[in-house]
Amino acid sequence: MGGVNAAFGDAAGQINRNAALTKNPAGVTEGLDTLAMNKGIAGGREAGDIQIQNADFQNQQRMAGLNLLNSLYGTNTQAQTSLLGQGASDLQARAAGGGWSQGFKDVLTSLKPSGG
């Protein structure tokens, strides 16, 4: 914001210097009005950009805080399964298969007498 104000302050000074050098004040008011309008537009854009940057920074802080809370209270399933010696493929195979009842049925089928 200071850079915008400084740039337009220098431009206003130049308009006044030109009028003083030429001893012709015609157009000074029009030039200063145009300059003030452009300064307002540039200042508004700069303020909007600052607000966007602040909002982005606040969102980054919010997400970092949520990630920290998740690491404190959340469940890391990958760490748990690796501690149990089970990978994702093991768990998917179990979910697709019949489970313990299928294994029990296979055992009973193999114990049947073959002749009868």
Same domain assignment for residues 30 and 62? yes
* C-beta neighbour count of 11 within 10 angstroms: 16
Predicted confidence at residue 101, as pLDDT, reads 59
Is residue 2 in a domain? yes
Is residue 116 in a domain? no
Same domain assignment for residues 58 and 83? no
Same domain assignment for residues 27 and 2? yes
pTM score above 0.75: no
How many domains would you assign to the chain? 2
Instruction: Please give the average per-residue pLDDT across 108-113, as a whole number.
Output: 67
**Under 8 Å between Cβ of 38 and 30:** no
Same domain assignment for residues 33 and 11? yes
User: What domain range is 8 assigned to?
Assistant: 1-74
Instruction: Please give the average per-residue pLDDT across 7-20, as a whole number.
Output: 84
